[in-house]
Structure 1
Amino acid sequence: MNLYPLGLRLDGRGVLVVGGGAVATRRVPALLEAGARVVLVAPRLTPALQALADAGRLRWEPRRFEPSDVDDVWLVHVAVDDPVAAAQVSAAADERRVFCVRADDRSRATAWTPAVTRHGPVTVAVLGGGDPRRAMGLRDAIRDGLVAGTLAAPSPSAPPAADAPTGGHVALVGAGPGDPELITVKGRRLLARADVVVADRLVPGLLLDELRPEVELVDASKIPYGPAKTQEEINRILVDRARAGRFVVRLKGGDPYVFGRGGEEAIACAEAGVPVTVVSGVTSSIAAPAAAGIPVTHRGVAHEFTVVSGHVAPDDPASLVDWPALARMRGTLVVLMGLKNLPAIAATLLAHGRAAATPVAVVQEGTTGEQRALRTTLADLVPQVGAAGIRPPAVVVLGDVVTALPRP
């Protein structure tokens, strides 16, 4: 069967979906994303569809289909597995010359839904000649190539219009905790389009290995200044390259706004009139414990978790952390960048009431092939970390969640 592929502009146009089960749950979000006015006819809905109806994102008619439902719609999706009911819907659509997609029998449908992947402004739709597995397999191969940057359509130096309205642009991209596969899809897509990449020391090296040969790579960890001057130089590089009309990705370990100084860089760009896109990343404060089999919250164990930076000692006047309050809390405490000041942190927590038997874990280089995890108690934390030779980057987790799950 020869098909005529077509992209439909559904923004503001009515689309009828008949059926409220699993198939409709899969189809409706894409219709809503395209701006369609979705009318859903079904006696019952899945919880996901019910939530969309309750939020006013679609109109639900809690009843069985009637032929008049097809009036004034541009497209019909039949999402029921009853062939008699499906035939009734498609017959009503035929009479009104409205294209109809049928989940139960594509041979009797007037339109097919392709296997789809989206990559920024690019939508790839694959039809497999009636074989859904063939279409999905090819779709997945194309998606993987787009995400990895090994398959790319010719593009301008700036990112897509949704990310860069005009001229040069900076994207603050979180690279995740260490495993290169934990960068977000959007982060990887923008990285593949970058003209300049300013990378931190903790960025997964494999991500940098995938950059195009012509990309300018600035290793921010080698800028030869003190911490304040280094940040000033990074800000200058971001602004200068963007003002030159280049697309700059500031690639940071974890999340840009979790102790990543991303806010300072956003301010510098804003003051220079440079547009900024922020792409959140998976933070090591959650991912590293998880990789070691530790949930930062767990029902009946911890209803809260607090993330603090330990790079400033508790008794330092520059510290902004209320360590005595943290010692009194019952939930989980996660300390980043705290190995240097670990003796002072442990002593302060003990002095202000945290139990000596509190379970503690230290996860070094979480989510990577070099991951190590040490489990101990608060009383024994400092000597055991020293004896084990734990080194940065490491995440310290304190609380009963450390022993909530069986060890992996």
Structure 2
Amino acid sequence: MTASPMLHPVHLVGAGPGDPELLTLKAVRVLRQATVILIDDLVGERVLEEVLDGSALARPRIVHVGKRGGCASTPQAFIEKLLVREALAGEKVVRLKGGDPLVFGRAGEEIAALREAGVPVVVVNGITAGLAAVNALGTGWTDRRHAQGVMLVTGHAQPGASGPDWAAIGAAAATGITLVIYMGVAQAPQLVAQLLAAGLPAELPAGVVQHASTDHQRCGLSTLGGLVEMLHSQQFGSPAVLVIGHVLDAAALQALPLADPATALRTG
């Protein structure tokens, strides 16, 4: 179906991991021009507050459409219908998602629904939580001394789906690939057991970052074999990112102020 030239495009905007200063200039501009914003639960609580304060335009209508694994969520089909309805009504619609819309953000389903309705779509990328998490741990996804690549995996399977093939993922990690696992805290006992069964060593470094880049950020370092116990004993919960691989051997870890990493991020 051909899009009507009278329709404003719907913008799927990445809010980044939570720190408002990590928004792109394009994201700020689009948010300030919006008349309707559909916002996810995982968007940092300060993002809209700081972006919209001081805007010369009227404040947009904010619609909360929470999507969080394991909790009561707004049905995806309803979100897609609402996006289409608001766009066809002539609104300037922004769908605001935590991190990047194209990284486990259901953007593909929303893009398809909008295109089917003849509504143009623009994606505004954001910094994904997995990148902010490894930064908080004092390293990166890749380091030529330790890792030749990175694999982004979701620990939360779609209802009715079988979930990731952890044996195959473990085999890839054994070749020097960093594993960055989103939504994996609740499934940690199962996924760790399968990675160990796939042959990854129990002493392989592993870490977790909860609420990456925000004032509530918490970090933990362990090994693959000790990861589940650390998550339990230190009461890590969602939203959090797990990082597994030899990039956590990096020398920068020796100076990492794990007691207060959120403050450390704002001193540079």
Shorter-chain TM band: 0.7 to 0.9
Question: 1:234-279: CA deviations, max 9, x gaps?
Answer: 1111111110111000000011111000111111100111111111
Question: 1:128-162: CA deviations, max 9, x gaps?
Answer: xxxxxxxxxxxxxxxxxxxxxxxxxxxxxxxxxxx
- Would you say the 8 A contact 1:292–1:366 is kept in 2? no
Distance of 1:277 and 1:378 partners within structure 2: 39
Report the residue type matching 2:115 in the other structure.
A
Q: Are 2:167 and 1:327 equivalent residues in the alignment?
A: no
Distance of 1:187 and 1:319 partners within structure 2: 35
Report the residue type matching 2:200 in the other structure.
R
Shift of 1:184: 1.1
Shift of 1:226: 6.1
7, 12, 21: which one aligns with 1:167: 7
Q: What residue in structure 1 maps to residue 27 of structure 2?
A: 187
Q: What residue in structure 1 maps to residue 249 of structure 2?
A: 403
Distance of 2:26 and 2:202 partners within structure 1: 44
Q: What residue in structure 1 maps to residue 60 of structure 2?
A: 215
User: Residues 353-392 of structure 1 correspond to what in structure 2 (within 5 A)?
Assistant: 353-392=199-238
Report the residue type matching 1:263 in the other structure.
G
Distance 1:406 1:177, change over 3 A: same
- Would you say the 8 A contact 2:139–2:252 is kept in 1? no
Report the residue type matching 2:243 in the other structure.
V
189, 213, 220: which one aligns with 1:343: 189
Shift of 1:205: 2.1
Larger RCO: 1 or 2 (CA < 8 Å, sep 6+): 2
Shift of 1:167: 2.0
Q: Are 2:105 and 1:235 equivalent residues in the alignment?
A: no
Helix, strand or coil at the partner of 2:30: helix
CA RMSD of aligned residues (A): 2.2
- Would you say the 8 A contact 1:175–1:252 is kept in 2? yes
Length-normalised TM-score, structure 2: 0.84
Q: What residue in structure 2 maps to residue 72 of structure 1?
A: none
- Would you say the 8 A contact 2:13–2:94 is kept in 1? yes
Distance 1:317 1:230, change over 3 A: closer
Distance 1:323 1:170, change over 3 A: same
Shift of 1:400: 0.6
Shift of 1:221: 1.5
Report the residue type matching 1:322 in the other structure.
D
Shift of 1:193: 0.3
Q: What residue in structure 2 maps to residue 300 of structure 1?
A: 145
Report the residue type matching 2:179 in the other structure.
L
Q: What residue in structure 1 maps to residue 125 of structure 2?
A: 280
Q: Are 2:89 and 1:249 equivalent residues in the alignment?
A: no
Distance of 1:376 and 1:214 partners within structure 2: 45
Distance 1:325 1:220, change over 3 A: same
Distance of 2:61 and 2:120 partners within structure 1: 20
Shift of 1:166: 3.5
Unaligned stretches of 5+ residues in structure 1: 1-163
Unaligned stretches of 5+ residues in structure 2: 257-268
Distance of 2:160 and 2:150 partners within structure 1: 25
% of aligned pairs identical?
A: 44
- Would you say the 8 A contact 1:254–1:284 is kept in 2? yes
Distance of 1:299 and 1:214 partners within structure 2: 47
Q: What residue in structure 2 maps to residue 393 of structure 1?
A: 239
Helix, strand or coil at the partner of 2:77: helix
- Would you say the 8 A contact 1:312–1:341 is kept in 2? no
Shift of 1:312: 2.8
Question: 1:160-194: CA deviations, max 9, x gaps?
Answer: xxxx9642321000010111111111111100100
Distance of 2:120 and 2:140 partners within structure 1: 37
260, 266, 273: which one aligns with 2:105: 260
- Would you say the 8 A contact 1:289–1:366 is kept in 2? no
Shift of 1:285: 1.4
Helix, strand or coil at the partner of 1:334: strand
Question: 1:357-401: CA deviations, max 9, x gaps?
Answer: 000000111111111110000111101110001011110000010
Length-normalised TM-score, structure 1: 0.56
Q: What residue in structure 2 maps to residue 95 of structure 1?
A: none
Shift of 1:288: 1.4
Question: 1:32-79: CA deviations, max 9, x gaps?
Answer: xxxxxxxxxxxxxxxxxxxxxxxxxxxxxxxxxxxxxxxxxxxxxxxx
Distance of 2:59 and 2:244 partners within structure 1: 45
